[in-house]
């Protein structure tokens, strides 16, 4: 197997800034964008490596697409690449959310047109289908295909237990390996911990002026299993109980997080701004991302690199990768109940899928669909 290609930090920064700017549509869209740009178009990451990263990041808490950005940055540029990729991917949405928060609290509440979401929802379903088609090689055996189908069904029926299904899939395929049983060295993991420690200390120091805000968002980031929307039940009780926001304001913040590119956890900037202005927005955003950077840069990133050629680890990650694709498919079914529930949405979804299969850029399909939906809404 060829050595993983190394990419310059400046190139990584520009690439993930661009992905952060056009990353509308939620985690499935972000994953498809990364797969298209990093694997298919540029060839910076092997397809198997990408699916490995996708599977493993699905097991750890935090926003999956952001952690995938950190992980792919690690594959291309080590610790520095992981830090640059994660920061640049989140930066555009964070800046935009701070600006929207300033406008919201200065001018009074405003709402986001429902037509915007009506156009984005079917495209998200199309993007999920497109991503599954592109990554179908991860289920190249009957066992892995069965794992993917089973996890898809379980994700629809019991979505809260998604991490359990992923671990169970890895354990199942782990039992199929035969080979090297030597213990791996821990040098790279130790080095990763040492290199990551300054990031943690810097984040804590920056948050020291606002300890309550920092604590709430670090805790939320560390418990954020199952994707960005788990942010709502984790954060809403804290924000309301502490009097930071009203329920209406919190829901408006979630809507703005959906309307902006990048991960929905940038809603943290909205809550932080409500508490302490721009400094509060920065502290909240940094705090919610600290667990993700630590888990990847000091854990899963060096783990995969150190253990990648071990048959046992390869078997485990194959099962987790197949399960991750099944979980994405299950999420697509669940979202499809809303995203394709009208003839217009279904038509938009079909056209979007055809456009993606014909290699139309995702960053063009998403705003085009939103524009069509808004236009139809205005005409009505």
DSSP state string for 343-361? HHHHHHHHHHHHHHHTT--
- Rounding to the nearest 10 degrees, give the CA dihedral for residues 355, 357, 361, 365: 30
Residue 181, domain member (yes or no): yes
Q: pLDDT tens digits for 194-251?
A: 444 454 445 444 444 467 888 888 888 876 765 565 566 667 778 888 888 887 777 7
Distance in angstroms (rounded) separating the CA atoms of residues 117 and 124 = 10
pLDDT of residue 88: 92
Residue 1, domain member (yes or no): no
For residues 297-311, average pLDDT: 68
- Rounding to the nearest 10 degrees, give the CA dihedral for residues 327, 330, 335, 338: -170
Q: pLDDT tens digits for 15-52?
A: 999 888 877 666 767 887 888 888 888 888 888 888 87
Q: How confident is the model at residue 183 (pLDDT cuts 50, 70, 90)?
A: very low
Residue 4, domain member (yes or no): no
Query: pLDDT higher for 19 or 304?
Result: 19
Contact 201, 207 (CB under 8 A): no
Residue 135, domain member (yes or no): yes
Q: How confident is the model at residue 84 (pLDDT cuts 50, 70, 90)?
A: very high
Residue 125, domain member (yes or no): yes
Enter the DSSP assignment of 136: G
Residue 323 has, within 13 A of its CA and on its CB side, a CA count of 28
Range of the domain at 367: 9-379
pLDDT of residue 266: 83
For residues 319-341, average pLDDT: 75
Checking if the pLDDT of 115 tops 70, the result is no
Contact 306, 188 (CB under 8 A): yes
Residue 332, domain member (yes or no): yes
Token pair, residue 6, equals 């190394």
Residue 49, domain member (yes or no): yes
Residue with tokens 């854990």: 299
Q: How many domains would you assign to the chain?
A: 1
Over its C-alpha atoms, the chain yields an Rg (Å, rounded) of 20
The pTM score is 0.65
Residue 188, domain member (yes or no): yes
pLDDT of residue 133: 79
Q: How confident is the model at residue 114 (pLDDT cuts 50, 70, 90)?
A: low
């Amino acid at each position: 197997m060829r050595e993983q290609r190394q990419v310059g930090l400046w190139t990584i920064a520009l690439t993930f800034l661009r992905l952060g700017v056009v990353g509308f549509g939620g985690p499935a869209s972000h994953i498809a964008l990364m797969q298209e740009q990093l694997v298919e178009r540029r060839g910076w990451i092997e397809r198997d490596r990408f699916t490995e990263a996708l599977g493993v990041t699905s097991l750890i808490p935090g926003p999956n697409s952001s952690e995938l950005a950190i992980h792919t940055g690690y594959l291309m540029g080590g610790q520095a690449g992981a830090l640059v990729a994660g920061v640049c991917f989140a930066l555009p949405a964070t800046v935009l959310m701070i600006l929207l928060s300033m406008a919201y609290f200065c001018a009074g509440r405003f709402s986001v047109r429902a037509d915007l979401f009506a156009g984005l929802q079917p495209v998200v379903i199309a993007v999920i289908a497109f991503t599954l088609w592109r990554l179908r090689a991860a289920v190249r055996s009957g066992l892995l295909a069965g794992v993917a189908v089973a996890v898809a069904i379980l994700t629809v029926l019991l979505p809260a237990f998604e991490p359990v299904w992923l671990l169970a899939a890895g354990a199942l395929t782990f039992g199929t390996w035969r080979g090297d049983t030597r213990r791996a060295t821990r040098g790279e993991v130790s080095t990763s911990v040492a290199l990551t420690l300054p990031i943690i200390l810097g984040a804590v120091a920056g948050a020291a002026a606002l300890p309550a805000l920092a604590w709430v968002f670090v805790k939320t980031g560390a418990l954020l299993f199952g994707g960005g929307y788990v942010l709502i039940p984790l954060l809403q009780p804290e924000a309301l109980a502490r009097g930071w926001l009203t329920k209406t304001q919190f829901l408006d913040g979630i809507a703005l997080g959906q309307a902006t590119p990048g991960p929905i956890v940038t809603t943290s900037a909205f809550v932080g701004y409500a508490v302490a202005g721009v400094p509060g927005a920065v502290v909240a955003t940094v705090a919610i991302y600290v667990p993700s950077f630590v888990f990847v840069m000091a854990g899963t990133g060096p783990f995969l690199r150190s253990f990648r050629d071990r048959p046992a680890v390869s078997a485990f990650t194959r099962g987790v990768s197949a399960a991750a694709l099944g979980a994405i498919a299950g999420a697509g079914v669940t979202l499809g109940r809303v995203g394709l529930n009208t003839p217009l949405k279904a038509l938009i979804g079909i056209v979007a899928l055809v456009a993606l299969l014909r290699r139309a850029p995702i960053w063009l399909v998403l705003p085009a669909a939103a524009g069509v939906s808004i236009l139809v809404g205005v005409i009505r």
